[in-house]
Amino acid sequence: MNFPNQKRKAKFSDIELIAIDLISEHMGIDSAYQLFTALPDSLYNRIERSVYSKNMH
């Protein structure tokens, strides 16, 4: 269950975030920059980048 008091609407479910985390660990990705460059566009476009550096991609 996503956090109910968040102001932003979640674009990923909790299980999707866990899956991305496990896959990135398996692939040896250890930074947000590496993860964002490795994600396919279909996932990358769902990330709210206002909480990250906007020049990552």
Element (H, E) at 41: helix 41-44
Average pLDDT over residues 32-46: 79
Give the model's pLDDT for residue 26.
Answer: 92
Give the model's pLDDT for residue 54.
Answer: 54
pLDDT tens digits along 24-36: 899 898 887 888 7
User: Is the Cβ–Cβ distance between 1 and 13 less than 8 Å?
Assistant: no
pLDDT tens digits along 10-24: 777 889 888 888 988
C-alpha neighbours within 13 Å on the C-beta side of residue 50: 2
Q: How many helices and strands in the chain, by DSSP H and E?
A: 3, 0
Amino acid at 17: L
